[in-house]
Chain A
């Protein structure tokens, strides 16, 4: 592959101000600057140009994975991460680089007016470099978005399984959302661990927030109830809504051996009476 000519580099250096101005207007035209501060974008474009000139100056080839391009890769990673957090999409982010092509090619065309074959060669070289930088940006952008999604998933999983203590020896687990195998596993583990930690004798699982109960969910519930019984505690299931009760009966699910209550208040009352406690009105 043909190397980049020194004179191309000279052309870049000479036209820096013009290049930056054209680049910015091209960014603006494509809508990639929306929601971003003008000052910030201008700073980023000029930083990028400086870095690319420095990289070419040092004689780095068009292979962006080479160590000579470390600095520019880091710059782009930072840039795409910040764009991802600002909620920009991948196209807008990648446009930052691709919008540079127009002004750059125009400048080169101007410079190599009298030598078309050299112009084509140089254009190909620079185009490849910019393309791979653009791809790098998109890859980083995607990675940071995926990291955000993964973190949110984990947080959701943690948030959705709070074990609350209702009374001395009575724990409650208000379940919200669909029950799948993974969630049941997390729920079961955190509830069982809390039973051991607090020495609670009764656990109430409230399924008011569970939208539907099918055979799989019922099986998960039964597993949890059995595990609690094996540990030596009792389990009450509360919050069985009329529709859910109907579904359970229609499906012919066997919930025998499981104590169920219509609401959490009834379940707490039962739990207290099992502990030998009773509530009386003061005064």
Chain B
């Protein structure tokens, strides 16, 4: 079955979405990620969606859910590399993703996570 790889970098988990997200894939990712956070007790999750050029409300909600569940498991989520078209679509859909941290690219997202962890 198709899966989105979850890479571990020290205290953080890195998810790079490079294929078109369909609903089943999103659900699988959600399960895999929560399982990995609990197994590795990761402190942060970085989701790179720079290759994603289409979203729907389901994917938008999935991103919010992942962020919420990681926060409960004490891992901060940062969403990086959102394309302009995707941002506009989400805003038009009314999904402003409150509580989700964002960054322009992976490098800045990593820095945000490191700052957050060192402030703990």
Contacts from A to B (Cβ < 8 Å): 185, 188-189, 192-193, 195-196, 199-201, 223, 226-233
19 A-B pairs with C-beta separation under 8 A: A188-B84, A189-B88, A192-B88, A193-B84, A195-B84, A223-B91, A226-B91, A227-B87, A227-B91, A229-B96, A230-B82, A230-B86, A230-B87, A230-B90, A230-B97, A231-B82, A231-B84, A232-B82, A232-B102
Task: Decide if B104 touches A233 in the complex (CB within 8 Å).
Answer: yes
> What A residues does B80 contact at CB under 8 A?
232
Bound-complex Cα distance A230 to B86 (A): 9
Bound Cα distance A188, B108 (Å): 23
- Total residues of chain B contacting the partner, CB 8 A: 20
Q: A188-B84, A196-B84, A231-B104 are in contact. List 13 more A-B contacts (CB 8 A).
A: A195-B104, A199-B104, A227-B90, A229-B102, A230-B79, A230-B90, A230-B102, A231-B87, A232-B79, A232-B81, A232-B102, A232-B103, A232-B105
| In the assembled complex, B44 has its CB within 8 A of some CB on chain A | no
Across the interface, do A192 and B84 meet the contact criterion of CB distance under 8 Å? yes
User: In the assembled complex, which residues on chain B have CB atoms less than 8 Å from the CB atom of A196?
Assistant: 83-84, 104
In the complex, residue of chain A having the shortest beta-carbon distance to the beta carbon of B78: A232
Q: How far is the CA of A201 from the CA of B92 in the complex (A)?
A: 22
Are the CB atoms of B105 and A199 closer together than 8 Å? yes
- Which residues of B are found within 8 Å of A231, using beta-carbon distances? 82, 84, 87, 102, 104
- The 6 A-B pairs with the shortest beta carbon distances in the complex, nearest first, are A192-B84, A232-B102, A232-B103, A227-B87, A232-B104, A230-B87
